[in-house]
Amino acid sequence: MSRSILVVDDIAANRNLLGATLEPHGYEVLLAPNGAAALKVAARARPNLILMDVNMPEMDGYEACRRLKEMPGLAEIPVIFITANDDAESLVKGFQSGGVDFITKPFKDEEVLMRVGTHVKIAELTRALAASNAELGAKNAALESEVALRQLAEGKANAANEAKSRFLSFISHEMRSPLNAIIGFSEELGDTLAGEPLQDSQSILRSGKHLLGLINNLLDLSKIEAGKMPLHLTDFSPAELVRQLALDVEPLITKRDNRLLVHTEGVTGTIHADATKLKQVLLNLVSNAAKFTQRGEIAVTLMQPDAHRVRIDVQDSGIGMTPEDQGRLFEAYNQANRDTQAQYGGTGLGLAISRQYCRLMGGDLTVASAPGQGSTFTATIPVRVAATAGSE
């Protein structure tokens, strides 16, 4: 890259001497006989550096330098004064006018080349740094703009979630009361009816409980999405919880001629977690297994792989799933596929909520399955769940 040096001196011999020194080293040399001419050449050519004589008629080097620094786009050009004046007052005056260095007359070629090369390099690095800072500033401004937009979008999303939570809370409250009344009346009627009226009453009861469960699931999912689902942490025996679950789900198991196997693998201690949520997770898993299994086996296996976590596998010999089905299994409102939903029903909320419950407690819920070979759901949670802002 060619670098241009403007040499300003009212004596032609000095200009030519400096030119002869610089040109062999790759510099393009521009010449000006006085300060006024120097300003015009600088404005037109924008040299990389100016060598400025101090003692010139009409406009000395100091004044020329001051004017140069006031011109748009020229202030960053370094100016080195060439003068026989080496007293302190002259040096101060030169620096105050905007100069960066001095070369004392009579000059030596080596000194001229060294000082010119040094200040040209400094100027180039300064410009490169300024360009990098400008680019960084632009990127930073763009990033700040993006962050502001995301924060705005996040604020709107949070507001929408909050509104949805309030709406679902209101709806659930308004619907729970009449639904509980319907369920209660249906149970009372079932005690006094027989035959077809009893079947109708039982149908009303099942529908009411199903709708109440759906409302509860919607409300729970809304709380989870809003980050407002509390944990109620207690010490309890996971083995006892699994055994109690086996008794509770017996009607679901026998309804489709299935057999339930329970293994606790010698887990005898207690854990510190949310027992209600863990039981709900297992109930969802066993209910799913019973729904998709006919005349088969469902196994619930409790184990403790290490001192820090417990693991519960719910394995069935049912219809199984493809990898594609498994990929969307834990998404809210999604089931494995449309054919499965049409045949077996369901809302697609149970597994999504179950995984979120496990993750709220610091664990996870995963699945391993293959078509026609059944499925194994694995729930893991810490032995001691850490308290969070919303936990009790």
Write down the CATH number for the domain with range 3-107.
3.40.50.2300
Q: How far apart are the first and last CA of the chain?
A: 71
Phi and psi torsions of 264, nearest 5°:
-110, -5
pLDDT the model gives residue 389: 46
Residue among 15, 11, 14, 65 nearest 36 (CA) = 65
Distance CA 261, CA 123 (A): 81
Same fold, 3-107 and 234-382: no
Fold of 234-382: Heat Shock Protein 90 (3.30.565)
Tens digits of residue pLDDT in 56-112: 988 999 999 999 999 998 999 999 999 888 788 888 999 999 999 999 888 899 999
Rg over alpha carbons for the chain, rounded to the nearest Å, is: 42
pLDDT the model gives residue 289: 92
Domain chopping of the chain, boundaries = 3-107, 234-382
Considering the chain, what is the average pLDDT of its residues? Answer: 86
Tens digits of residue pLDDT in 248-304: 899 889 999 999 999 987 888 999 999 999 999 999 999 999 998 999 999 999 999
Residue type, position 58, single letter = E
Q: Give the pLDDT band (50/70/90) at residue 309.
A: very high
Is the pLDDT confidence value at 353 over 60? yes
Distance CA 48, CA 118 (A): 12
Distance CA 74, CA 68 (A): 6
Distance CA 32, CA 6 (A): 7
Beta bridge partners of 310: 381
pLDDT the model gives residue 336: 54
Tens digits of residue pLDDT in 173-206: 677 677 777 777 777 777 776 677 777 777 777 7
